[in-house]
């Protein structure tokens, strides 16, 4: 469980909290005393997240709709109080070889994973910066840092989230808001099924999927250490260094593993 077990007085927004890591974080934070607002498009998922949890409110919001996001953020802040934390977990992950991957699907991935993230940033962060406090958590992915076959548009959307967050952090470095960019390896959540239903890169079978709680705990550790990058998963951080200095080595391994 996270190092900060008392979250009384905190008001946290979690996008994509109708499933996976967002759901886990939402339930953890409520148990620790926070008021948590969850945005998701999946009503059934929202209801499951909220079941039996005190302090958790759910909002059916599509994060690609900026007007809807702004209205929901204004409403939640008037009901629960000013936001003290935002966890950007909403995403989709259909895979495909770029030239064979449906055009509309590729645009949808960018619209949700990156466009939706821009919307949440602009609807929530100005208030936290003005108040001089808060935690802003971006879920990117190791896929945004380490290229693999078939993940093209998903990886590009996550690379965009990572770069945008890094610049956001430095533009607001003295604001009092803490930023982290979360780049885990494969995590055991329902998201994986979306890739499995399309095409599954053999590279992703190289280790056991991470427990979602491990990622949530790593975020807390990085926040408390005043750092920025969360590299959950054995070899993730080392992989990013190899990628930077010897990109050919990574690609050699990818080609060998995928068999072309």
Residue ranges that bind ligand NAD, judged by CB under 6 A: 15-16, 18-22, 39-42, 45, 62-64, 89-92, 112, 116, 139, 141, 184, 186-187, 189-192
- Which of residues 91 and 175 has its CB atom nearest to ligand NAD in the complex? 91
Sign of the alpha-carbon dihedral angle for 21, 25, 31, 32: positive
CB of 9 to ligand NAD, least distance (A): 26
CB of 144 to ligand NAD, least distance (A): 8
Task: Identify the three-state secondary structure at position 2.
Answer: coil
- Which of residues 15 and 106 has its CB atom nearest to ligand NAD in the complex? 15
Paired residues of 11 in beta bridges: 35
CB of 140 to ligand NAD, least distance (A): 7
CB of 67 to ligand NAD, least distance (A): 14
Question: Would you call 154 a catalytic residue per the annotation?
Answer: yes
- Which of residues 114 and 169 has its CB atom nearest to ligand NAD in the complex? 114
- Which of residues 62 and 77 has its CB atom nearest to ligand NAD in the complex? 62
Task: Identify the three-state secondary structure at position 136.
Answer: strand
* 155 CB neighbour count, 10 Å cutoff: 23
CB of 176 to ligand NAD, least distance (A): 25
Alpha carbon of residue 124 to chain centroid = 15
Contacts of 164 (CB under 8 A, 6+ apart): 114, 117, 118, 121, 138
Residue nearest ligand NAD (C-beta atom): 20
In angstroms, the Cα distances linking 242 to 77, 191, 238, 248 are 43, 27, 6, 9
Q: Which letter, b or e, does each residue of 193-205 get, where b requires 16 or more Cβ atoms within 10 Å of its Cβ?
A: eebeebeebebbe
- Which of residues 21 and 80 has its CB atom nearest to ligand NAD in the complex? 21
100-106 own/partner pairs: CB under 8 Å, 24+ apart: 101/152, 101/153, 105/153, 106/152, 106/153
Annotated catalytic residue within 87, 150, 154, 231: 154
Residues with catalytic roles: 154
């Amino acid at each position: 469980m996270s190092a900060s077990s008392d979250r009384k007085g905190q008001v946290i927004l979690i996008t994509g909290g109708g499933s996976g890591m967002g759901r886990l974080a939402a339930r953890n934070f409520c148990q620790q005393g926070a008021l948590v607002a969850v945005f998701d498009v999946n009503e059934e998922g929202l209801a499951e997240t909220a079941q039996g949890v005190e302090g958790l409110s759910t909002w059916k919001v599509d994060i690609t709709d900026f007007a809807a996001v702004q209205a929901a953020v204004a409403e939640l802040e008037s009901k629960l109080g000013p936001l003290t934390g935002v966890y950007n977990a909403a995403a989709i992950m259909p895979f495909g070889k770029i030239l064979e991957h449906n055009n509309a699907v590729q645009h949808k991935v960018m619209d949700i994973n990156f466009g939706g993230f821009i919307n949440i940033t602009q609807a929530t962060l100005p208030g936290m910066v003005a108040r001089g406090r808060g935690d802003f958590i971006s879920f990117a992915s190791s896929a945004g840092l380490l290229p693999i076959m078939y993940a093209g548009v998903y990886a590009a959307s996550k690379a965009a989230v990572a770069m945008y967050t890094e610049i956001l952090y430095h533009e607001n470095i003295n604001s009092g808001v803490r930023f982290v960019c979360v780049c885990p390896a494969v995590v055991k959540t329902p998201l994986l099924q979306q890739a499995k239903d399309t095409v599954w890169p053999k590279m992703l079978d190289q280790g056991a999927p991470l427990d979602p709680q491990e990622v949530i705990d790593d975020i807390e550790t990085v926040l408390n250490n005043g750092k920025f990058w969360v590299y959950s998963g054995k070899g993730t951080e080392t992989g990013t260094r190899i990628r930077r200095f010897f990109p050919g080595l990574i690609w050699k391994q990818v080609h060998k593993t995928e068999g072309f």
